[in-house]
Amino acid sequence: MPMYEYACEKCETEFETLVMNADEEKDVECPKCESKEVEKLLSVPGKPKVTIGGGGPCGEGPPCGASWCQR
pLDDT in tens, 10-44: 999 999 999 988 889 899 999 999 999 999 998 76
Q: Please state whether 27 falls in left (phi above 0), alpha (psi between -120 and 50) or beta.
A: alpha
* Residue spans of beta strands (DSSP E) within the chain: 3-8, 14-18, 38-40, 51-52, 56-57
SS3 34: coil
pLDDT surpasses 50 at 55: no
pTM of the model: 0.58
Please tell me what DSSP assigns to residue 35.
Answer: -
Provide the β-strand partners of residue 21. none
* Whole-angstrom distance, CA of residue 8 vs CA of residue 62: 46
Mean pLDDT of 44-49: 63
Q: How does the average pLDDT of the chain come out, rounded?
A: 78
